[in-house]
Every structure is written in C-alpha cells, then in structure tokens.
Amino acid sequence: MSVSRTVLLGTVLAAGGAAAQDASGDAATGRALAAAHGCTACHVIPGLRGLGSHVGPSLAGIGGGRYIAGVLPNTPENLVRWLRDPPAVAPGTAMPALGLDEATARHIAAFLATLR
C-alpha cells in the first residue's frame, strides 16, 4: 500500500516535471527554420516576412494559446507532436505533415512559444 502510493506519487511528480520543461529547442534557430520550411506560405507569423497568406490561422499569440488546432492542449511536447504530423493529431486537417525531424520541430516549437 505505502509502496504503491510512493510509486504513484513519483509518477505524478515526474509527469509534472516533464510538463514544466520547455521543448528544449532554440527559439532563434527555430525562427530561421520556420522561414526555411515555408510556414509563411500558409501562416502569418509575426517577425517573419511572408505572403500574407491565410490558408492557416495567424500564429500571432500561439505561445499563449490554450489549444493547438482546437484539439490538443498547447504544451511544448504537443506542439512538437503537431508540427511533426498534424494529420495524426487532427485527421482531415488542411495542414500537411512537412517531414520535420524531431530536432527541427523542437526548435520551431521553441520559437512559436515566444509568440505571445
């Protein structure tokens, strides 16, 4: 009983710690990668020159948003998950998987988190 309670508490603390971490990417690198990967073809992104396209929503304020694409709580890990494979998160979404690797997605997520 006391052993399982200790294990449970440890699990809860570990989960809380993970949620508090950032996505361990670098925002400045992510900004450059977002430009390089053509995000502005579909999104207005503050600080990046783009086409003014509104295929996707403006990413202004995304760092302070509560949900990603309306379905996923906006945490750093979920943002990475979304960026790597949007249709896996929201089947039928108009945002395609762009083939981002894990490191690229982490840097871009760190950049997006700065958009308040």
**Residues at the contact surface with ligand HEC, assessed by CB under 6 A:** 34, 37-39, 41-43, 55-57, 59, 62, 65, 68-70, 83, 90, 93-96, 98, 108, 112
Closer by beta carbon to ligand HEC, 15 or else 41: 41
Closer by beta carbon to ligand HEC, 13 or else 41: 41
Closest to 44 (Cα-Cα) out of 92, 94, 112, 97:
112
Residue 89 near residue 69, CB atoms below 8 Å: yes
Closer by beta carbon to ligand HEC, 23 or else 108: 108
Q: How far is the CB of 34 from ligand HEC (least distance, A)?
A: 5
In the block, tokens 């958009």 appear at 115
Q: How far is the CB of 79 from ligand HEC (least distance, A)?
A: 6
Closer by beta carbon to ligand HEC, 10 or else 87: 87
Residue 74 near residue 82, CB atoms below 8 Å: no
In the block, tokens 């997006």 appear at 112
Tokens of 68: 């990603």
